[in-house]
Structure 1
């Protein structure tokens, strides 16, 4: 995926988006789909995964090598479920090329979005604009990408859901007005 792909003229480009299933990545996926439609580009949702304990731990354990296929299957299942939940039957309105990649998410996204006409879309996590780039993946992409990076802030719904979760875990009453 290195410089070889940068040597050829490409069509309208790709919108590459990191998808993990988190609310932030779902927000980024929605924004990426809209961006792909707007640009007439292909949408490339990518779920990057690493073996539990990291690559070094996976190499050390003979048992974990037997589990690699299962971990990859679970990653594919998660990506398919997120795409189905978010995009539904309507799809994106843009050509879709979903990928599951083994590796660190930031590095995998940057290596994939290697063309000048690409746009890389990442969610910024739970902390909002005050610390928008505090997430490791977003920070890595912003520092290493060779294409434009669109850092999508969390959905306003995320703070409402977090507040409801806190109230629920503390067994405090919650009214429907607090959710609107």
Structure 2
């Protein structure tokens, strides 16, 4: 049966994607499947030598708790209006999302935000990976306009810069 699959994390863009995915699931009368990908400390190479079974179990339980918190933050599951399921998957976010939506009738929803040159070098874009590899339609959700204002305020506060009163007008 087709589903609406959405990638979740603790980012603001992820919450926007989750809200849009819930709206699409209600509109199409489909199950909403939230997927949170996680990796062991140090990535896959780091987990081979240094992480024991107990460390991986702790990472897995932390990922489940994060998913639960994100879903509780996003909405009240009792009044959602669709069937909601959540999964944590060990692996990279892009590959986990593509694997979670193998049916061509599924809809895959991901957040797509602006990324600076440093961030592009350090962390590949999940949205680009999903667009290139998905077997189903992909809906990319742009960031909320409030996110840019939030990030600007955060940068200003981090650098201890004074507030520009013209921004308040």
TM-score range, shorter chain: 0.7 to 0.9
Q: Does 1:165 align with 2:151?
A: no
Point out 4+ residue stretches in structure 1 off by more than 6 angstroms. Answer: none
Alpha-carbon distance in structure 2 between the residues aligned to 1:79 and 1:179? 35
Contact 1:126 1:158 in 2 (8 A): no
TM-score, normalised via structure 2 length: 0.88
- Deviation, 1:169, is 1.7
Which runs of 5 or more structure 1 residues have no equivalent in the other structure? 1-9, 129-133
- Structure 1 residues 178 and 135, CA gap change in structure 2 (3 angstroms): farther
TM-score, normalised via structure 1 length: 0.83
- Structure 1 residues 179 and 82, CA gap change in structure 2 (3 angstroms): farther
Report how many residues are paired: 163
- Deviation, 1:19, is 0.2
Q: Does 1:83 align with 2:71?
A: yes
How large is the Cα RMSD of the aligned pairs?
2.2
Contact 2:77 2:84 in 1 (8 A): no
1:57 is matched with which residue: 27, 30, 46?
46
Contact 2:37 2:88 in 1 (8 A): yes
**1:5-154, aligned counterparts within 5 Å?**
10=1, 13-61=2-50, 63-88=51-76, 90-127=78-115, 136-154=125-143
